[in-house]
Amino acid sequence: MKLTLHEIARVVGATNNWSELADTEVHNIEFDSREVKEGDLFLPLKGTRDGHAFIKTAFAQGAIATFSEKDIQAPHLRVKDCLTAFQRLAQYYLEKMAVEVIAVTGSNGKTTTKDMIQAVLSEKYKTYKTQGNYNNEIGMPYTILHMPDDTEKIVLEMGMDRLGDIDFLSKIAKPKIAIVTLIGESHLEFFGTRGKIAEGKLGIKSGLRPEGELIVPADKIINKYLPADTKITRFGPDEDIFVTQLIEHKNMLSFTTNFLNREITIPVPGKFNATNAMLAAYVGTLFDIEEDKIAHALSSVTLTRNRTEWKKASNGADILSDVYNANPTAMKLILETFQAIPKNEGGRKFAVLADMLELGEQAPELHGNIAQSLDFSVMDHVYLYGELMKNLLVELPQDRVSYFTDLTNLAENIKEILGPQDQLLLKGSNSMKLGTIVEELQK
């Protein structure tokens, strides 16, 4: 990190007599005292416990100084609020290092799109990205201040828990390119309507540079939140950019677009991932990356966490595990993908669907609507688990569906019926613990 202690003090407006401290270069800034190393600056944040209680530990680990909201008997920078100082410093550091920002948010696909954009841009530029899920008011500044010194482009994922979160993060990052992957139903319980979710996600435009570009889905619900004086690119059928000639395979997919002259192949399933890859390819064209290099990057992309993953049961059956999270849009998309893949010779197709949480008052209706995405000319049987899935149960042919209230019984039933040539999809919110069924089938 190319910052000295005095420079940091000036940027954050430290109010104590910091000029008496040696103006040494700071290696890193850490908010976990256990991660502090020689030459680091400690950031005591207030969480379950007040980070000021760990200042002594940070110095024992090698810290040269600490932020502090009170005067202490140790080298420190006195600030009114440690987190605000951290955020202000991240904003300054992006400007100082002249790093261009590509910001990504959305109800689904933001992590995968971020990974794919980073892979594409790395073909030409020194590119860094949000690590893991560091996409909030703490994680994003941490990402910025931990980027390598030679970074030219940074891909920042922006998450949202409440209205205003994305707006705030965008004003820190000041992106050149801002992308909204999807307006779905995530956190509908807290936001109330998709309109409010759209309003929150479109906060990404707030810090967009005057010469910047906003890339959004063709969804009417966002229209009222689009700025009039910004270049806007829409994606979707017959829009500015779109996917054509999509071919799905079990472990990969291929597609073309209306703006590239060659086919793209990516090593992950799911037609929704074609859209994510298309967005990455389009960003690549905005930064003058050759089409062959775009295709090469996407053909070997490594994802942060592949939430949609094919696994093998102990008896050889194919398991499509997508149990990290769930909302109606994501469930419909994975069902489309699963049903489009040909059956194994002599095999059957089964699905285990569990409750989708945080959908608020609309939860019963949204669960029932999943029936429209189930094709029983393809599906042999569907297994439902959870209180909310009763709303889907009544919409399905009763001879093709089974309902369970006990996870252990469900796992035992699946294990009994699943044959070596069968294919099984599991999808539900993480707290429904469908992952335990996957583990049981692999034993």
Nearest to 267 by CA among 112, 405, 146, 51: 112
pLDDT at res. 307: 67
Q: In this prediction, what percent of the chain has a pLDDT beyond 90? A: 85
pLDDT at res. 198: 93
Q: Which residues make up each annotated binding site for ATP?
A: 106-112
Domain ranges of the chain: 3-80, 99-299, 309-442
Alpha carbon 431 to its chain centroid, in Å, reads 18
Q: Torsions phi, psi of 318, nearest 5?
A: -90, 130
For the stretch 128-180, pLDDT in tens is: 999 988 999 999 999 999 999 999 999 999 999 889 999 999 999 999 999 99
Q: Which residue matches tokens 């849009």? A: 329
| Lowest pLDDT segment from 155-159, 222-226, 247-251, 257-261 | 247-251
The CATH architecture to which 99-299 belongs is 3-Layer(aba) Sandwich (3.40)
Report how far apart, in Å, the C-alpha atoms of 323 and of each of 12, 158, 175, 349, 352 are: 42, 22, 32, 18, 10
For residues 58 and 77, give the distance between their C-alpha atoms in angstroms, rounded to a whole number: 14
For the stretch 313-326, pLDDT in tens is: 999 999 999 888 78
Look at 254 and 271; give whichever has higher pLDDT: 254
pLDDT at res. 443: 86
Instruction: Return the C-alpha torsion angle 205, 211, 217, 223, nearest 10.
Output: 60
Q: 278 near 241, Cβ under 8 Å?
A: yes
pLDDT at 280 over 90: yes
pLDDT at 275 over 60: yes
pLDDT at 405 over 90: yes
Name residues whose C-beta falls within 8 Å of residue 186's C-beta, 6 or more positions apart in sequence. 107, 108, 197, 325, 327, 358
For residues 61 and 35, give the distance between their C-alpha atoms in angstroms, rounded to a whole number: 8
For residues 67 and 389, give the distance between their C-alpha atoms in angstroms, rounded to a whole number: 49
Structure tokens at 68: 């502090």
pLDDT at 305 over 80: no
pLDDT at res. 306: 56
CATH number for the domain whose boundaries are 309-442: 3.90.190.20
pLDDT at res. 140: 97
For residues 366 and 194, give the distance between their C-alpha atoms in angstroms, rounded to a whole number: 13
Beta pairing, strands 25-26 & 3-4: antiparallel
pTM: 0.88
For residues 433 and 203, give the distance between their C-alpha atoms in angstroms, rounded to a whole number: 33
For residues 344 and 273, give the distance between their C-alpha atoms in angstroms, rounded to a whole number: 23
Q: Which residues make up each annotated binding site?
A: 106-112
Nearest to 432 by CA among 316, 354, 315: 354
pLDDT at 272 over 80: yes
Identical topology for domains 3-80 and 309-442:
no
The superfamily in CATH containing domain 3-80 is MurE/MurF, N-terminal domain (3.40.1390.10)
Look at 205 and 132; give whichever has higher pLDDT: 205
Q: 4 near 73, Cβ under 8 Å?
A: no
Beta pairing, strands 25-26 & 127-129: unpaired
